[in-house]
Amino acid sequence: MPQEQYAHRSTMQSSEGPQVYKVGIYGWRKRCLYFFVLLLMILILVNLAMTIWILKVMNFTIGNPLYFQSARNVTVNILNEKTKVLTRLVTGPQAVEAHSQKFEVKTLSGKLLFSADDNEVVVGAERLRVLGAEGTVFPKSIETPNVRADPFKELR
């Protein structure tokens, strides 16, 4: 009996003509989908506006120098992957301290003017002047290729 019912249905469908199925989203589902797309667009615009507002309020700019102002001091720490301090620069009202393995001062062209580490201090300038009433005191010997006095002055 079940085979006869299926056979009867197939003959009825062929005699009525082909059925057309609607493909797509219709009715309340379509309205909900449009509502969610509209809501998403509004959220994107609000997010973009808030991001621009935050950048403007915090004075974030591209290319301007970075200024620090403090009543006491400013400390800059350079850390490694394990959050161990590798280099520290402390600027205060009385002094500037640098704690690192090596300290270098260079000209704008890249020439070394001064370098200091645990083993040696190097002065790379063409001329070294010591301005002080007492001059310099060396507890051990010093080595220099050239010793000169100022023009028309004694060498002391």
pLDDT tens track for 5-16? 555 555 555 567
How far apart are the C-alpha atoms of 35 and 28, rounded to whole Å? 10
- 3-state DSSP assignment of residue 121: strand
Intra-chain end-to-end CA distance of the chain, in Å: 130
Find the Cα–Cα–Cα–Cα dihedral 126, 131, 134, 137, rounded to 10°.
Answer: -30
Question: Binning pLDDT at 50, 70 and 90, where does residue 97 land?
Answer: very high
Map residue 91 onto helix, strand or coil. strand
* CB within 8 Å of 89: residues ≥ 6 apart: 75, 76, 96, 97, 98, 99
CA angle 61, 87, 127 (to 5 degrees): 95
Average pLDDT over residues 111-119: 93
Per-chain mean pLDDT for the chain: 85
Please state the pTM of the whole predicted model. 0.46
pLDDT of residue 136: 81
Give the model confidence (pLDDT) of 26-48 as tens digits: 888 899 999 999 999 999 999 99
Q: Domain limits of the chain?
A: 21-63, 74-123
Q: What is the mean pLDDT of residues 134-138?
A: 80
Q: Pick from 142, 150, 104: which is nearest to 123 by CA?
A: 104
Per-residue model confidence (pLDDT) at position 98: 92
Q: Which residue has the higher pLDDT, 136 or 81?
A: 81
**Residue 33 carries which side chain, given as an amino acid letter?**
L
**Band of the pLDDT at 18, cuts 50, 70, 90?**
confident
pLDDT at residue 93, as a whole number: 87
Q: What is the pLDDT of residues 100-109, one digit of tens each?
A: 999 999 999 9
